[in-house]
Amino acid sequence: MTESQIMRDWYVPVEVLTLRTWLVVAFIVNLLLLTVEVLREDSLSLILGLLICVLFAALRASLPHVHELGKRNISLALSALIIGIGLFRLGSSSLSFFDIWMHAWAIIPSILSLWWLSNRAVTVWTSNKLSTSAIEFGLLRNFETINKHEKISTHLILLHFVLITVIPLLWIIDIAFSPGNALGGEIGDSFSTEHFSKILKGDSFWIWFVNSLIVSIGTSLLGLTIAIPAGYAFSRYKFTGRDVSMFAFLLVQMFPGIIILVPYFLVMKTLGLLNTHLGLILAYCVTALPLCVWMLKGFFDTIPRELEEAATLDGCNQFQVFTKVVLPLSTPAIAVTALFSFLAAWNEFLLALTFNTSNDMYTLPVGLASLISSTGQAWGDFAAASVLVSLPVALLFLFFQKFLIDGLSAGGVKG
């Protein structure tokens, strides 16, 4: 086989490459959107929607290979058909944002496919007039545009996920900034900062905040301090009772906590830890331990022993090996477990409620719950408090991403 023949077999225009994945995605999304028609009990739309799904599947199947002009023309026809049906459905819908978005998922992929499959590169490729220079030119084009396509598709997918993730949170922000205390109304109809000023001016919020901060940071620190050695031991050493101990960490998570509140309370009372920061810190550490230990063990597993051996040969003792070699490589794991411990403590309600018998030890979740009176919820205040509670965590996420994204690369240490 000559080089040009290899290239001929191997080259596919970037548009066709992209369409291969995007049409599958369009098919899946349109399939999922059929549930909307089912819920609306609109049979005509349902049938048309099904038809569109089938057509997308057919379109994907009829994407041409090299020299297959006929298939390309079929694809063009199918795309045009989908566009037609999509426009019809759009026209007969109520033209709300949601409807437009929904029908766009049928119309836009098909327009793209129609446009791309009829452009010069693809026409040349599927015809019999494919020359080597065309292939070379095409490969260059591929190289330049494939990244762009990848970026666009990533942004698209991420935007959709972000939208789903963020909608309820927008509601919460809206309620926090609306006057009055109702759970309803339109987004953005009125604006007021009364809830925030009420909460921030009162003493209670700051007391709760400080308590939560102390307890959560304490949990992170203490949790890491006792979980890291344990994770290391489980990862590196074979010793009697290893499997049993690892399993023991899981066991305690399995028992529903509701029944054991009273004996747990008594244990705390016996240890004199009721109504103290330390008591909660210890309790939360114990809750977070299973994940911390297992995650850290998993991470330590991925660090090759050779690195440690090399460091020992270089004259480091056990402790130095640990701090200079192992720890830096496990920054992502440590970041994840620290964040997890912090959040486990920050958001935990039941134990904080039960073990604290005095208001000045209340943490934020308990304080939040006490905004609810017997006659129903002050939604505005509650939403404002929730926003305030989430802000430090969001900031923490931003901060920790540095450790997640820029973990030290393994390259430098490898011999």
Instruction: List binders of another protein among 222-251 (CB under 8 A).
Output: 225-227, 229-230, 232-243, 245-251
Tell me if 320 contacts another protein by CB under 8 A. Answer: no
Number of residues that bind another protein (CB under 8 A): 146
Residue 275 DSSP class: T
Greatest Cα-to-Cα distance within the chain, rounded to the nearest angstrom: 88
Of 261, 278, 310, 316, which one interacts with another protein (CB under 8 A)?
261
Tell me if 210 contacts another protein by CB under 8 A. Answer: no
Tell me if 191 contacts another protein by CB under 8 A. Answer: no
Tell me if 48 contacts another protein by CB under 8 A. Answer: no
Residue 375 DSSP class: T
| Least distance (Å) between residue 326 CB and another protein | 11
Residue list 87-126, contact with another protein (CB under 8 A): 94, 96, 98
The Cα–Cα gap between 24 and 181 comes to: 46
Residue 408 DSSP class: P
Residue 189 DSSP class: S
Distances from the Cα of 8 to the Cα of 69, 104, 121, 135, 198, angstroms: 15, 35, 14, 7, 71
Tell me if 329 contacts another protein by CB under 8 A. Answer: yes
Give the HSE-up count for residue 210: Cα atoms under 13 Å, Cβ half-sphere: 7
CB-based contacts of 105, cutoff 8 Å, min separation 6: 26, 29, 30, 33
| Least distance (Å) between residue 222 CB and another protein | 9
Give the binding range for another protein (CB under 8 A) out of 59-67, 109-117, 125-133, 263-271: 263-271
The dihedral through the CA atoms of 171, 176, 179, 182 has a sign that is positive
Give the binding range for another protein (CB under 8 A) out of 43-51, 63-71, 127-135, 266-274: 266-274
The dihedral through the CA atoms of 277, 282, 285, 287 has a sign that is negative
Which C-beta is closer to another protein: that of 70 or that of 179?
179
Residue list 141-170, contact with another protein (CB under 8 A): 147, 150-151, 154-155, 157-158, 161-162, 164-169
Residue list 17-36, contact with another protein (CB under 8 A): 36
Tell me if 15 contacts another protein by CB under 8 A. Answer: no
Rounded to the nearest 10 degrees, the angle between the axes of helix 194-201 and helix 379-405 is 80
Tell me if 218 contacts another protein by CB under 8 A. Answer: no
Of 2, 128, 133, 373, which one interacts with another protein (CB under 8 A)?
373
Other CB atoms within 10 A of residue 31 CB: 15
The Cα–Cα gap between 88 and 111 comes to: 14
| Least distance (Å) between residue 66 CB and another protein | 19
Which C-beta is closer to another protein: that of 85 or that of 303?
303
Site string for another protein, 275-294 (x = CB under 8 A): -------xx-xx--xxx-xx
Which C-beta is closer to another protein: that of 133 or that of 270?
270
Site string for another protein, 53-82 (x = CB under 8 A): ------------------------------
137 sits in which H/E element: helix 132-177
Which C-beta is closer to another protein: that of 83 or that of 361?
361
| Least distance (Å) between residue 42 CB and another protein | 10
Q: Tell me whether residue 335 is exposed, middle or buried, using C-beta atoms within 10 angstroms of its C-beta: 0 to 12, 13 to 18, 19 or more.
A: middle
Give the binding range for another protein (CB under 8 A) out of 104-112, 122-130, 135-143, 402-410: 402-410
* Amino acid found at 150: E
The Cα–Cα gap between 264 and 271 comes to: 11
- Structural contact between residues 389 and 382, judged by C-beta atoms closer than 8 angstroms: no
Of 6, 61, 146, 271, which one interacts with another protein (CB under 8 A)?
271
